[in-house]
């Protein structure tokens, strides 16, 4: 793998790290399997790209993307809590609806942002090459988000959200409105995913309605990969797992794409299979560890 | 103070599995009452507590607390006034969270959950102080996760959490049934101590007739979703296990022999 490819993997790992932190909130904290993210990632990209092409400041477009993601997440959560639709199904419904909405927002299935202003222009004064700026910017953003999330999960509200995911009966008997906690948690999660999508669109120079496919699987793979290495003992460790897992996942993907195995040369279309195998390998780690220890 | 008037709850209505769990039951709980509830399996003891706590909403009838109609209030809203300990030690606490986090959750019962630091040093001092009452050494283990605690320790913690903010009424649903006899005895002693120290109004469901007789100031016997006996104060003091068994045999007839096994301690 070349240094350039490695830098690219880091950039992707950091920017999708925001998405992974979002998935962590639903998947691990709330225990609410949420596939909405496959729709909110391109939603964020679509909102940001559409606003930028309409001459809106790219920073405002990021805030708008975040808000759009929160709204999409709250729709899923309201379907699941008020209408008592199974969470997985509720999220698939929203995700499906978002596909059409995303095309409406862009007016067509994709928008290119070549020569359009992006947030990276604000850092031109540093005199660094663009691909270094993106890596540094995304690294700072994902670390800030991680630490803010850590702090949030230890607030009164954060504790109530964690209790809702861990033990809803206990939460209710301690006076916690569990439905409201689910709405808040799923909204924040999807807001982060949409922000991640908006940043991806600005860095790769286009938004595409299909860019969200496999988001949830990549998110889960990253979390599981990170957890098997970093551990899950405390909240800060869990969020580290998400960030580290996200970077490792992108590096593994980059490595898989850069090597030729015999006559087989992997192409980007093989990524989903690589991801699937990776998830299985990660899930096998605790099982194999136990087996190995018993063997001794 | 807490009144349930003619409440009825039917499960699986209109199916072959239809069960009348609570059958137009009326109960007035007075301020300071410590009621023990006995009855065989399926008598409706747990259903009664679930209806009072808001886990279920009654099909008919009304529930009032201090004059306010709370019949349709959801569970989380009633929790402002109601503390609960469950039969299953795993239900009352969050295993993945630490002891102090669990207590912090309980300490905000009935109050808004703000975006503020969840636990302050002041809270910790209070938690240590309250935990020391248990005599389990948990005051030195604030940052331990609850899932490393035993069932008995978890029940003690739940009891403490249910009473951390003074509840108008404390509901105990066979909270010692899942524990070994020695631990159960300790938890019961603690229950008695906390209820009398804080002068709480409480309802305790139990399978154990000796417990039902030795604790509280009022005893209720349930059968098929109805209250069939309500012994208060002096009347309760005179009651014996034999009296209770006789009362059971009167209402249950031939089903009695089976119940006898369930009820004797």
Separation of alpha carbons B130 and B103, rounded Å: 10
Q: In tens digits, what is the pLDDT along chain B, a chain of 265 residues?
A: 899 999 999 999 999 999 999 999 999 999 999 999 998 888 899 999 999 999 999 999 999 999 999 999 999 999 999 999 999 999 999 999 999 999 999 999 999 999 999 999 999 999 999 999 998 999 999 999 999 999 999 999 999 999 999 999 999 999 999 999 999 999 999 999 999 999 999 999 998 888 999 999 999 999 999 999 999 888 888 888 888 888 888 877 655 555 554 555 4
Domain ranges, ordered by start, for chain B:
2-81+171-263, 95-166
- Short-list A227, A215, A278, CA closest to A20: A215
Prediction ipTM score: 0.92
- Short-list A8, A83, A17, A1, CA closest to A223: A17
Residues B112 and A155 sit within 8 Å (Cβ to Cβ) = no
Report CB contact under 8 Å: A157, B114: yes
Chain B residues close to A167, C-beta within 8 Å: 90-91, 93-95
Report CB contact under 8 Å: B96, A176: no
Cβ burial of A280 (10 Å; 0-12, 13-18, 19+) is exposed
Q: What is the pLDDT of residues A126-155, one digit of tens each?
A: 889 988 999 999 999 999 999 999 999 999
Separation of alpha carbons A147 and A155, rounded Å: 13
Separation of alpha carbons A193 and A206, rounded Å: 17
- What is the model's pLDDT at position B257? 53
Q: What is the pLDDT of residues A197-227, one digit of tens each?
A: 999 999 999 999 999 998 999 999 999 999 9
Q: What is the pLDDT of residues A45-88, one digit of tens each?
A: 999 999 999 999 999 999 999 999 999 999 999 999 999 999 99
Chain B residues close to A169, C-beta within 8 Å: 86, 91
- What is the model's pLDDT at position A124? 86
- Of chain A residues 136-195, which have a CB less than 8 A from chain B? 152, 154-160, 162-163, 166-167, 169-178
Chain A interface, mutation test: which of B118, B159, B162, most A Cβ atoms within 10 Å? B118
Superfamily covering domain B2-81+171-263: P-loop containing nucleotide triphosphate hydrolases (3.40.50.300)
| Mean pLDDT over the full length of chain A | 93
Q: Helix (H, G, I), strand (E, B), or coil: what is residue B98?
A: strand
Indicate if the pLDDT at residue A262 is higher than 80.
no
Residue with tokens 């998400």: A242
- What is the model's pLDDT at position B253? 67
């Amino acid at each position: 793998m070349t240094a350039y490819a490695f830098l690219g993997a880091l950039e992707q790992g950091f920017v999708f790290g925001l998405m992974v932190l979002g998935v962590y909130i639903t998947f691990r904290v709330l225990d609410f399997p949420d596939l909405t993210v496959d729709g909110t990632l391109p939603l964020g990209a679509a909102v940001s790209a559409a606003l930028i092409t309409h001459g809106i400041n790219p920073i405002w477009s990021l805030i708008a993307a975040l808000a759009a993601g929160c709204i999409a997440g709250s729709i899923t959560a309201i379907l699941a809590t008020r209408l008592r639709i199974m969470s997985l199904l509720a999220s698939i419904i929203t995700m499906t609806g978002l596909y059409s909405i995303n095309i409406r927002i862009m007016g067509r299935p994709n928008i290119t942002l070549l020569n359009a202003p992006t947030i990276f222009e604000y850092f031109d004064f540093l005199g660094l090459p663009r691909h270094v700026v993106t890596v540094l910017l995304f690294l700072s953003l994902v670390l800030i988000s991680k630490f803010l999330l850590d702090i949030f999960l230890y607030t009164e509200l954060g504790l109530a959200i964690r209790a809702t995911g861990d033990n809803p009966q206990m939460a209710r008997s301690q006076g916690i409105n569990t439905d409201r906690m689910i709405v808040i948690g799923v909204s924040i999660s999807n807001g982060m995913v949409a922000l991640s999508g908006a940043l991806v669109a600005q860095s790769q120079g286009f938004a595409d309605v299909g860019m969200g496919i496999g988001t949830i699987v990549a998110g889960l793979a990253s979390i599981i990969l990170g957890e098997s290495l970093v551990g899950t003992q405390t909240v800060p460790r869990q969020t580290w797992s998400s960030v580290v897992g996200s970077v490792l996942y992108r590096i593994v993907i980059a490595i898989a794409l850069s090597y030729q195995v015999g006559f087989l040369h992997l192409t980007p279309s093989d990524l989903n299979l690589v991801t699937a195998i990776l998830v299985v390998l990660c899930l096998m780690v605790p099982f194999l560890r136990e087996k190995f220890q018993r063997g001794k | 103070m807490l009144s349930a008037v003619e409440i009825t709850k039917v499960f699986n209505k209109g199916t072959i599995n239809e069960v009348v769990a609570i059958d137009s039951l009326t109960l007035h709980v007075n301020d300071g009452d410590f009621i023990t509830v006995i009855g065989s399996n399926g008598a409706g003891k747990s259903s009664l507590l679930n209806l009072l706590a808001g886990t279920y909403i009654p099909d008919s009838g009304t529930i009032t607390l201090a004059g306010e109609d709370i019949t349709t209030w959801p569970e989380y809203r009633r929790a402002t006034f109601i503390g609960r300990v469950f039969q299953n030690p795993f239900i009352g606490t969050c295993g993945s969270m630490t002891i102090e986090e669990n207590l912090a959750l309980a300490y905000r019962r009935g109050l808004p959950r703000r975006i503020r630091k969840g636990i302050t040093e002041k809270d910790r001092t209070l938690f240590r102080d309250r935990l020391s009452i248990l005599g389990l050494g948990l005051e030195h283990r604030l940052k331990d996760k609850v899932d490393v605690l035993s069932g008995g320790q978890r029940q003690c913690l739940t009891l403490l959490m249910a009473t951390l903010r003074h509840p108008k009424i404390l509901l105990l649903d066979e909270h010692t049934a899942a524990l070994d006899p020695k631990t159960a005895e300790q938890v019961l002693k603690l229950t008695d101590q906390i209820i009398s120290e804080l002068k709480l109004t409480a309802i305790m469901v139990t399978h154990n007739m000796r417990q039902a007789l030795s604790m509280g100031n009022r005893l209720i016997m349930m059968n098929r979703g109805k209250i069939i006996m309500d012994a208060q104060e002096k009347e309760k003091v005179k009651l014996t296990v034999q009296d209770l068994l006789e009362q059971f045999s009167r209402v249950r007839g031939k089903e009695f022999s089976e119940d006898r096994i369930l009820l004797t301690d």
